[in-house]
């Protein structure tokens, strides 16, 4: 059995459950309770606060955990990042009331700053003498309540700041995404390696598609240049020896252009399919 920690709510919860379900894990947060055992796959899932997961990993209590890079850095975690995950993209931004005149984000140094990320703020301003107000959440309301003059908070679309009458000041102090981390002492466990390999397989499946096409044998090299694959394309001979069939993985973002190019050089029966899962 390995222990895996997932955020129990918020922006990372849904995407985490979806990712692990597509990897064949049974992930179900009980209505009351923070633990679920997937006995078939020998995994115990713990649903914890995203901000607490680095501490559990640091102490080696949990083998693997998903949280944001921002919390990993804020909590000065010793856990190792194993995989970047394609969700939880956000920025830590300085924000102040819309009518505030701040020409330079350095002026913020002398203001009362409310945040859930005190260490990242200190690191950013390279200063220990800041007037920091540490809050667990709902940071955006602290200015209108008179607790702070500005905030450093998570921004994705900017809707939360806007509805609180705030604007971003200067450049983001940190850019984050969700990631899968492993406790130092768990990295060599075979069960942990298998878990990470499965998740990585699904991430590759999401990033690539499979293209298959028929190509005249004299154009095979030219076509393979367009579809080199990861290792090498698979080539099969058609019954009509003047033609070959090629199968190759292509990056999803490039797939449609590659299909256009294959058609343009004379390939036929060009098919593009999604990949459900991979092991590389
Ligand atoms: N709107 C968002 N879009 C994308 N990622 C986000 C968003 N909000 C938060 N995150 C990311 O998700 C992680 C968890 O954030 P957050 O602290 O908001 O969790 P939460 O479960 O909502 O807890 P809390 O109740 O303390 O706010 C962080 O790493 C953060 O960067
Ligand atoms: O820029 P936006 O798209 O508005 O997203 C940013 C907001 O999302 C998160 O809040 P969350 O949804 O986790 O609610 P919370 O206040 O309960 O943490 C985060 O704490 C910000 O407040
Ligand atoms: Mg939140």
Q: What number does the ligand 2 atom closest to the CA of 138 have? A: 16
CA–CA dist 7, 16 (Å, integer) = 8
Flag whether 75 is in a domain.
Answer: yes
Q: Best substitution site from 13, 88, 89, 157 to test ligand 1's pocket, by max atoms within 8 Å of Cβ?
A: 88
Give yes or no: residues 73 and 141 share one domain: no
Which one of the ligands is nearest to 90 CA? Answer: 1
Task: Reply yes or no on whether the pLDDT at 10 is more than 70.
Answer: yes
pTM value is: 0.93
- Residue whose CB lies within 8 A of the most ligand 1 atoms, among 50, 66, 69, 151, for a mutation test: 50
> Listing from the earlier edge strand, what are the strands of the sheet with 90-97?
131-134, 112-115, 150-155, 90-97, 166-176
Average pLDDT, the chain: 96
Q: Mind listing the pLDDT tens digit for each residue in 88-100?
A: 999 999 999 999 8
* Contacts (Cβ under 8 Å, ≥6 apart) of 52: none
62 Cα–ligand 3 center, Å: 22
- Same structural domain for residues 95 and 172? yes
Query: Do 171 and 181 fall into the same domain?
Result: no
Taking residue 121's Cβ as centre, other Cβ atoms within 10 Å add up to 25
Find the 239 Cα to ligand 1 centroid distance in Å.
Answer: 56
**Whether residues 114 and 82 fall in one domain:** no
pLDDT tens for 184-200 read: 999 999 999 999 999 99
CB 98 within 8 A of CB 165: yes
Using 50, 70 and 90 to split pLDDT, how confident is the model at 266?
very high
Q: Is residue 279 part of a domain?
A: no
pLDDT at 105: 73
In a domain, 280, yes or no: no
Which pLDDT score is estimated for 79?
Answer: 97
Range with the lowest mean pLDDT among 8-12, 27-31, 88-92? Answer: 27-31
Q: How many domains does the chain have?
A: 3
Q: Are 81 and 163 in contact (CB under 8 A)?
A: no
How far is ligand 2, taken at its centre, from the CA of residue 252, in Å?
30
Given a cut of 90, whether residue 53 has pLDDT beyond it is: yes
Please give the pLDDT value at position 103. 67
Exposure string of 94-113, with b = 16+ CB inside 10 Å and e = fewer, is bbbeeebebeebeebbebbb
pLDDT at position 127 is: 82
Burial class (CB in 10 A: 0-12, 13-18, 19+), 264: exposed
Burial of 66 (0-12, 13-18, 19+ CB in 10 A): buried
In this prediction, residue 77 has a pLDDT band, given cuts at 50, 70 and 90, of: very high
Residue 183: CB partners within 8 Å, gap ≥ 6?
Answer: 57, 58, 59, 60, 61, 62, 63, 64, 65, 79
Q: How far is the CA of 204 from the centre of ligand 1 (A)?
A: 25
> Residues with Cβ within 6 A of ligand 2?
10-11, 137-138, 153-160
**For range 122-136, the mean pLDDT:** 92
Tens digit of each residue's pLDDT (9 = 90 or more) over 135-180: 999 999 999 999 999 999 999 999 999 999 999 999 999 999 999 9
Any idea which ligand is nearest the CA of 136?
1
CA of 219 to the centre of ligand 3 (A): 54
Q: Which two tokens stand for residue 81?
A: 């990042």
Please enumerate in sequence order all residues whose Cβ is within 8 A of that of 112, keeping only pairs 6 or more positions apart, or say none: 131, 133, 147, 148, 149, 150
> Which range has the worst mean pLDDT, 63-67, 127-131, 260-264?
127-131
Note the ligand closest to the C-alpha atom of 85.
1
Pocket of ligand 1 (CB under 6 A): 7, 9-12, 50-51, 67-68, 70-71, 88-90, 136-137, 154, 156, 176
Q: Which ligand is nearest to the CA of 74?
A: 1
Looking at the fold, whether 231 and 155 belong to one and the same domain comes out as no
Q: Could you tell me if residue 202 is inside a domain?
A: no
Answer whether residue 128 shows pLDDT above 70: yes
Distance 50 CA to ligand 3 centre (A): 9
Out of 8, 11, 15, 161, mutate this one to test ligand 2's pocket (max ligand atoms within 8 Å of CB): namely: 11
The complex's ipTM works out to 0.94
Distance of CA 94 to the CA centre of its chain: 22
Confidence of residue 107 (pLDDT cuts 50, 70, 90): confident
Kindly report the CATH number assigned to the domain that includes residue 226.
Answer: 3.30.70.120
**Containing structural domain, residue 236:** 209-274
Looking at 176, 196, 221, which one is the last position of a domain? 176
Average pLDDT over residues 71-85: 97
In this structure, the answer to whether residues 6 and 143 fall within a common structural domain is no
Say yes or no to pLDDT of 102 above 90.
no
């Amino acid at each position: 059995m390995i222990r895996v920690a997932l955020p129990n709510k918020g922006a990372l919860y849904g995407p985490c459950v979806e990712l692990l379900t597509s990897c064949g894990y049974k992930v179900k947060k009980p209505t009351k309770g923070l633990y679920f055992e997937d006995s078939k796959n020998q995994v115990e899932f713990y649903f914890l606060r995203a901000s607490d997961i680095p501490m559990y990993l640091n102490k080696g209590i949990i083998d693997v955990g998903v949280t944001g890079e921002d919390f990993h850095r804020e909590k000065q975690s010793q856990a190792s990042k194993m995989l970047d995950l394609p969700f939880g993209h956000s920025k830590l931004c300085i924000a102040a009331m819309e009518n505030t005149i701040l020409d330079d984000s350095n002026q913020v140094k002398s203001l009362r700053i409310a945040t859930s990320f005190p260490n990242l703020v200190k690191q950013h301003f390279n200063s220990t003498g800041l007037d920091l107000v540490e809050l667990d959440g709902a940071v955006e309301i602290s200015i209108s309540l008179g607790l702070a003059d500005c905030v450093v908070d998570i921004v994705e679309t900017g809707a939360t700041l806007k509805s609180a009458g705030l604007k971003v000041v200067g450049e983001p102090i940190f850019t984050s995404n969700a990631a899968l981390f492993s406790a130092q002492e768990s990295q060599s466990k075979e069960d942990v390696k298998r878990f990470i390999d499965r998740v990585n397989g699904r991430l590759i499946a999401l990033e690539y598609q499979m293209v298959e096409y028929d190509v005249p044998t004299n154009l095979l090299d030219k076509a393979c240049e367009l579809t080199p694959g990861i290792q090498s394309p698979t080539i099969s001979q058609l019954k009509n020896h003047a033609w070959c069939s090629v199968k190759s993985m292509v990056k999803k973002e490039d797939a449609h252009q590659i299909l256009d190019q294959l058609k343009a050089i004379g390939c036929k029966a060009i098919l593009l399919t999604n990949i459900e899962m991979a092991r590389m």
